[in-house]
Amino acid sequence: MPDELHVTIAISDTSTVSSLFVRPENARCVVVLAHGAGAGMRHPFLGRLAAELAAVDVATLRYQFPYMEQRRRVPDPPAVLTSTVRAAIKKAIEIAPDLPILAAGKSMGGRMTSQAAAPYPSELKNVKGLVFFGFPLHPPGRPGTKRAEHLERVTLPMLFLQGTRDQFADLKLLRPIVANLGARATLRVFETADHSFHLLKSSAKTDAEVIRELAQSVREWADSLSHAATSDNG
């Protein structure tokens, strides 16, 4: 993987967070990647995902939320989390102004990214779409759809990458939500994967292969957005 560049992101005049920027030589886009509730940007899953994305010419800027930066266990209020998402996207625009941007997140990071884009802030015009690595539709054992209500206000294309054993998203509930979002939303399902994209031992694939497929899915989807934009422009 290309070298990781340490980048500081200003959330406010008095608050900053850390981030890691990886740009492969032939980068086609950059994924601004938020971590989940219980692990920061250096979690092995995000590190391996960044490496696989780099392998398919996708740059990444993965960053910390303030509570994780300060080594607190309880996540920040939603307003702080969404402000951090927007600040990270602005930083990506600053350091990679030539690349289209996908705003993304693992679990809670994905949900906060979608909330930051509902409605879509005009200053984040370089963002072409949102990617959710395990959208947390509901807590385990408590099926519901309230966490998805704001998605109706998101006007950007959305890619949902979900495992069939994800306890945070009953596919019987998620599939109709994605369908109701129409052409804006795409769902890719990974057989036997749980919320962390771990597979059953009986699966014909390995966890490493699934992470590679996640990266390939992002690259292919990003390419489809690029082609659609080219077609729209004549």
> Which sequence spans correspond to the domains of the chain?
5-232
Q: How many residues does the chain have?
A: 234
- The pLDDT value recorded for residue 232 is 61
Q: Kindly indicate the confidence band of residue 39, based on its pLDDT and cuts at 50, 70 and 90.
A: very high
Mean pLDDT of 30-53: 97
Distance CA 176, CA 173 (A): 6
Residue 136 parent element (H or E): none
Q: What is the pLDDT, as a whole number, of residue 229?
A: 66
160, pLDDT greater than 60:
yes
Per-residue pLDDT at 204 = 86
Nearest to 214 by CA among 142, 134, 144: 134
Q: In this structure, what are the phi and psi dihedrals at residue 25, rounded to the nearest 5 degrees?
A: -60, -40
Stretch 142-150: mean pLDDT:
97
pLDDT at 121 over 80: no
**What is the model's pLDDT at position 27?**
97
Residue 1 in this model has a pLDDT that exceeds 80: no
| pLDDT > 70 in the chain, percent | 97
Phi and psi at residue 179, to the nearest 5°? -60, -40
121/151 Cα distance (integer angstroms): 14
CA 100 to chain centre: 15
- With cut-offs at 50, 70 and 90, classify the pLDDT of residue 149: very high
pLDDT tens, residue by residue, 72-93: 999 999 999 999 999 999 999 9
Q: Which of 140, 158, 63, 55 is nearest to 102 (CA)?
A: 158
Could you tell me the CATH superfamily of domain 5-232? Alpha/Beta hydrolase fold, catalytic domain (3.40.50.1820)
Please say if the pLDDT value at position 213 is more than 80: yes
**Per-residue pLDDT, 13:** 86
Neighbours of 7 (CB within 10 A): 17
pLDDT tens figures, 164-210:
999 999 999 999 999 999 999 999 999 999 999 999 988 889 999 99
Cα distance between residue 16 and residue 21, in whole Å: 16
Confidence grade of residue 107 (pLDDT, cut at 50, 70, 90): very high
Please tell me the predicted confidence (pLDDT) of residue 144. Answer: 97
Distances (CA, A) of 32 to 20, 44, 215: 10, 17, 13
Q: Which has the minimum average pLDDT: 11-25, 38-52, 121-135, 152-166?
A: 121-135
Structure tokens at 132: 């959710």
Tell me the pairing of strands 127-133 and 101-106.
parallel
